[in-house]
Amino acid sequence: MLRFAQALDTQLRTAMERAFPAAAAEAIAAGRPLDPKLAPASKPEFGDFQANGALALAKPLKQAPRQIAAALLAELEADAAFGALCLPPQIAGPGFLNLTLRPEVLAAEVQGRLGDPRLGVPLAAASGSGAAPVIVDFSSPNIAKEMHVGHLRSTIIGDALARVLEFRGQPVLRLNHVGDWGTQFGMLITHLKQVAPAALDTADAVDLGDLVAFYRQAKQRFDADEDFQHTARQEVVRLQAGDPVSLKAWGLLCDQSRREFEQLYERLDIRLNERGESFYNPYLEAVVADLEAAGLLVVDAGAKCVFLEGMQGKDGNPLPLIVQKSDGGFNYATTDLAAIRYRFAAPPAGDGARWVIYVTDAGQANHFAGVFQVARRAGWIPAGARLEHVPFGLVQGDDGKKLKTRSGDTVRLKDLLDEAVERCEADLRRRLAEEERQEDEEFVQQVATTVGLAAVKYADLSTNRITNYQFSFDRMLALQGNTAPYLLYAVVRIAGIARKGGDLGGGDRAGGAEAAGAEPQAAFPEALQFSEPQEWALVRELLKLDTVIAEVEQELLPNRLCSYLFELSQVFNRFYDQVPVLKAEPAARASRLALCRLTADTLKLGLGLLGIATLERM
Ligand code: ARG
């Protein structure tokens, strides 16, 4: 629909300029050209689009809006390009123009998408390998601590956003800003020196579970014992200064965690480049120097800080962002300043990014607001660059409280994924028994794994990320409603049509790399023909894909794509339940099979952008 919206917008603008040349010239001179205010129709019976621009012109032109709409309509009727695209428009309400695309235009668009691996989604203006990269900073767990559900959310949302941007042809740098440089190492190394020195100079002397336990003990000592605190702080300074013994211990601890994280990424099919906090260590001094030179640095109680504009602490005083602590140590914010500086700096001194996106919990909103402000004031952000915190809410249990195991511990991600898959397997075995279906073990495992992981990802992505999210296995695994199983079933249902003899065309053009280059083989008719309202509803829903992707990219809200895919599945199911496909007359049958084909391709593409694999049978 994007293409049509753009064409109509231009045609309507021209019509306005022709109908009201004086007003148009004045508006252009004032830098605010007349706007046809084109929007999707609010109801299907109003057509495809409505243009509300006449209303805003009523006052300056001192004419009734309906009269203005009539003048526009006369101009549009004289425009052959408009006539080729739309049926004669209707004036409605106080002076809207209702616009309906010609059926043959819609049918030809469906036809075009059947042969298009991008399904009508255009590449972004700044695409290709020469374009400046978009950085998505996501997942970013902390070494020696367990990855928690917040990191899982960041991982799933960040990956989906990266996939959408990549599909639009943007060069994306997926960065895992792991916490590998903070106070936790001071505590951990100090503690291990006393209780498990082998862990500091021998690989694999302890496993991650032990490490997490050691970290917990270290943290308890740190909070309770001032001497320990002091030693731990000194240990951090030693590490950050490059002491070889500390560095070796640090490297071993990082390896241990890294292996554990990687297992999870592999299972979830997540690609990430690790570039942890330690990477920016060599640039921390330069941050201080830059801020000093910009006249932003203030020494307050021995700490170097920048006072934030428009941000106050609880006492009403301006909030400082501490850049270097009084003991000379740097902190989380300093590292993020160094990271921003590096990411926007032109290569080879930096990444030369034009857009940086941070996916973390909403609790870090103030941290990022402060860091962004200081980076801007320091002059590190080039004009026109985008810098965005993409926050998300908390993960809660069924009871609305923080997600915990029954014994009250934090939930381990591995256990969480295992449980999703196990529950799927149990459901599946029950269903197979009920239906007296025989399937081999490989099928059962494949289906349970795919559906289980899909359910976890989809449940997270389908809620608006800003709100808190209630984790519920029962809800995410339900076969009805806005769930992964419901969408996966729609794909399976269409695959079933092919198995029952419907020619959906060979290959799997929208199904990812393995299918690239597969030639369509189906004999779809030259001109598709639709007659039933259910067919037209499906056509219109299918053609929304490009608009939806553009919105997701603009607003960074994957739940928009989820809602669309859910809506599409519902419209498809209504069509398939109410209109004969395999039993239809040959001409209608071929056109309807084409709709089935495009629906499957659209669902697979959309789910793929969410990081979700599909199945042919389940
Ligand atoms: N490690 C941090 C945490 O666990 C998240 C880091 C997010 N990225 C960043 N550039 N600060 O909360």
* CATH code for the domain of 570: 1.10.730.10
∠ at Cα 32 (26, 38), nearest 5°? 115
Place 237 in a pLDDT band, splitting at 50, 70 and 90.
confident
Residue 514 above 60 pLDDT? no
Nearest of 317, 13, 356 to residue 162 by alpha carbon? 356
Region 181-204 average pLDDT: 88
pLDDT tens track for 322-343: 999 998 888 999 999 999 999 9
Which ligand 1 atom sits nearest the alpha carbon of residue 179? 1
Based on the fold, state whether residues 430 and 339 are members of the same structural domain.
no
Cβ within 8 Å of residue 197, ≥6 positions away: none
Least trusted range by pLDDT, from 82-86, 148-152, 261-265, 594-598? 148-152
Which ligand 1 atom sits nearest the alpha carbon of residue 336? 10
Region 239-243 average pLDDT: 86
Based on the fold, state whether residues 503 and 577 are members of the same structural domain.
yes
Our separate counts of H helices and E strands in the chain read 22, 14
pLDDT tens track for 272-291: 999 999 999 999 999 999 99
Based on the fold, state whether residues 436 and 336 are members of the same structural domain.
no
Tell me if 176 CB under 6 Å of ligand 1. no
**Residue reference for tokens 């140590």:** 329
Amino acid in position 572: F
What is the residue-averaged pLDDT of the chain?
A: 92
Tell me if 169 CB under 6 Å of ligand 1. no
Tell me if 153 CB under 6 Å of ligand 1. no
| pLDDT score recorded for residue 273 | 97
Residue 509 above 70 pLDDT? no
Tell me if 389 CB under 6 Å of ligand 1. no
Cα of 332 to ligand 1 centre, how many Å?
8
Place 515 in a pLDDT band, splitting at 50, 70 and 90.
very low
CA distance 582 to 496: 11
CA distance 115 to 367: 47
- Nearest-CA residue for ligand 1 atom 8 is 177
How does strand 386-392 pair with strand 355-361?
A: parallel
Residue 510 above 50 pLDDT? no
Cα of 469 to ligand 1 centre, how many Å?
20
Region 415-427 average pLDDT: 96
| pLDDT score recorded for residue 508 | 46
Q: Looking at the domain assignment, is residue 111 inside a domain? A: no
**Residue reference for tokens 């056509």:** 539
Based on the fold, state whether residues 293 and 313 are members of the same structural domain.
yes
DSSP class of 346? P
DSSP one-letter string for 20-76: -HHHHHHHHHTT------EEE-SSGGG-SEEE-HHHHHHHHHTS-HHHHHHHHHHHH
Q: Looking at the domain assignment, is residue 605 inside a domain? A: yes
Based on the fold, state whether residues 147 and 261 are members of the same structural domain.
no
Tell me if 331 CB under 6 Å of ligand 1. no
Tell me if 140 CB under 6 Å of ligand 1. yes
- The more confidently predicted of residues 487 and 253 is 487
Dihedrals phi, psi of 549, to nearest 5 degrees = -60, -40
DSSP class of 133? P
CB 343 within 8 A of CB 350: yes
Based on the fold, state whether residues 488 and 600 are members of the same structural domain.
yes
Q: Looking at the domain assignment, is residue 123 inside a domain? A: no
Least trusted range by pLDDT, from 171-175, 205-209, 496-500, 535-539? 205-209
* CATH code for the domain of 42: 3.30.1360.70
DSSP one-letter string for 390-422: EEE--EE-TTSSBP--TTSPPPPHHHHHHHHHH
Count CB neighbours of 434 within 10 A: 8
CA distance 518 to 506: 7
Cα of 472 to ligand 1 centre, how many Å?
26
Based on the fold, state whether residues 196 and 260 are members of the same structural domain.
yes
- Nearest-CA residue for ligand 1 atom 7 is 140
pLDDT tens track for 350-367: 999 999 999 999 999 999
| pLDDT score recorded for residue 567 | 98
Which ligand 1 atom sits nearest the alpha carbon of residue 332? 11
DSSP class of 142? B
Q: Looking at the domain assignment, is residue 155 inside a domain? A: yes
Domain that holds residue 290: 134-178+277-395
Based on the fold, state whether residues 66 and 194 are members of the same structural domain.
no
- 9-45: b (≥16 Cβ within 10 Å) or e: bebbbbbbbbbbeebbeebeeeeeebbbbbeebeeee
Cβ within 8 Å of residue 299, ≥6 positions away: 305
Q: What distance, in Å, lies between the first and last C-alpha atoms of the chain?
A: 33
Tell me if 179 CB under 6 Å of ligand 1. yes
- Nearest-CA residue for ligand 1 atom 3 is 141
Cα of 208 to ligand 1 centre, how many Å?
20
Q: Which structure tokens are listed for 431? A: 């269903």
| pLDDT score recorded for residue 329 | 84
Cα of 354 to ligand 1 centre, how many Å?
20
Residue 256 above 90 pLDDT? no
Residue 476 above 70 pLDDT? yes
Cα of 401 to ligand 1 centre, how many Å?
23
* CATH code for the domain of 291: 3.40.50.620
The percentage of the chain sitting over the pLDDT mark of 90, rounded to a whole number, equals: 76
Cα of 302 to ligand 1 centre, how many Å?
26
Tell me if 137 CB under 6 Å of ligand 1. yes
CB 101 within 8 A of CB 86: yes
| pLDDT score recorded for residue 522 | 57
**Residue reference for tokens 């941290």:** 367
Residue 518 above 50 pLDDT? no
Q: Which structure tokens are listed for 384? A: 């026109």
Which ligand 1 atom sits nearest the alpha carbon of residue 361? 12
- Nearest-CA residue for ligand 1 atom 5 is 140
CB 8 within 8 A of CB 47: no
CA distance 271 to 239: 29
- Nearest-CA residue for ligand 1 atom 9 is 177
| pLDDT score recorded for residue 506 | 57
Region 576-594 average pLDDT: 94
Beta-ladder partners of 300: 303
Residue 16 above 80 pLDDT? yes
Residue 315 above 60 pLDDT? yes
CA distance 554 to 561: 12
Based on the fold, state whether residues 467 and 491 are members of the same structural domain.
no
| pLDDT score recorded for residue 524 | 74
- The more confidently predicted of residues 198 and 407 is 198
Tell me if 372 CB under 6 Å of ligand 1. no
Based on the fold, state whether residues 554 and 514 are members of the same structural domain.
yes
Which ligand 1 atom sits nearest the alpha carbon of residue 339? 10
Q: Which structure tokens are listed for 40? A: 């999707």
pLDDT tens track for 115-170: 899 999 999 987 777 889 999 999 999 988 878 888 999 999 999 999 999 999 99
Q: Where are the alpha helices (DSSP H) in 269-307?
A: 284-293
Cα of 278 to ligand 1 centre, how many Å?
13
| pLDDT score recorded for residue 523 | 65
Tell me if 360 CB under 6 Å of ligand 1. yes
Last residue of a domain, one of 243, 270, 297: 270
Question: Do you know the residue count of the chain?
Answer: 618
Cα of 552 to ligand 1 centre, how many Å?
23
Last residue of a domain, one of 81, 101, 121: 101
Last residue of a domain, one of 395, 427, 454: 395
Q: Looking at the domain assignment, is residue 430 inside a domain? A: yes
Tell me if 336 CB under 6 Å of ligand 1. yes
Residue 347 above 50 pLDDT? yes
Number of domains in the chain: 5
What is the rounded (10 degree) CA torsion for 232, 234, 238, 241?
120
Q: Where are the alpha helices (DSSP H) in 204-275?
A: 208-224, 226-240, 244-268
Task: Give, in order, the Cα–Cα distances in Å from 220 to each of 71, 142, 216, 253.
Answer: 77, 18, 6, 19
CB 60 within 8 A of CB 23: yes
Cα of 584 to ligand 1 centre, how many Å?
56
Cα of 245 to ligand 1 centre, how many Å?
26
Residue 519 above 50 pLDDT? no
| pLDDT score recorded for residue 512 | 40
Based on the fold, state whether residues 167 and 239 are members of the same structural domain.
no
Report which secondary-structure segment, H or E, holds 598.
helix 586-609
Nearest of 363, 362, 393, 390 to residue 557 by alpha carbon? 390
Q: Looking at the domain assignment, is residue 406 inside a domain? A: no
Cα of 361 to ligand 1 centre, how many Å?
9
Cα of 248 to ligand 1 centre, how many Å?
24
Region 187-210 average pLDDT: 86
In the three-class reduction of DSSP (H, G, I as helix; E, B as strand; rest coil), residue 388 is classed as strand
Cα of 513 to ligand 1 centre, how many Å?
32
Dihedrals phi, psi of 136, to nearest 5 degrees = -110, 115
Q: Looking at the domain assignment, is residue 554 inside a domain? A: yes
Q: To test ligand 1's pocket by mutation, which of 274, 360, 371 has the most ligand atoms within 8 angstroms of CB?
A: 360
| pLDDT score recorded for residue 140 | 97
Residue 348: is the preceding peptide bond cis (ω within 30°)? yes
Amino acid in position 139: S
CA distance 332 to 176: 15
CB 600 within 8 A of CB 545: no
Tell me if 182 CB under 6 Å of ligand 1. no
CA distance 268 to 477: 17
Report which secondary-structure segment, H or E, holds 39.
strand 38-40
Based on the fold, state whether residues 289 and 149 are members of the same structural domain.
yes
How does strand 355-361 pair with strand 134-137?
A: parallel
Region 313-321 average pLDDT: 89
CA distance 207 to 133: 37
- Nearest-CA residue for ligand 1 atom 6 is 140
CA atoms within 13 A on the CB side of 298: 10
CB 483 within 8 A of CB 570: no
- The more confidently predicted of residues 60 and 484 is 484
pLDDT tens track for 22-51: 999 999 999 999 999 999 998 888 999 999
pLDDT tens track for 49-90: 999 999 989 888 899 999 999 999 999 999 999 999 999 999
Q: Looking at the domain assignment, is residue 114 inside a domain? A: no
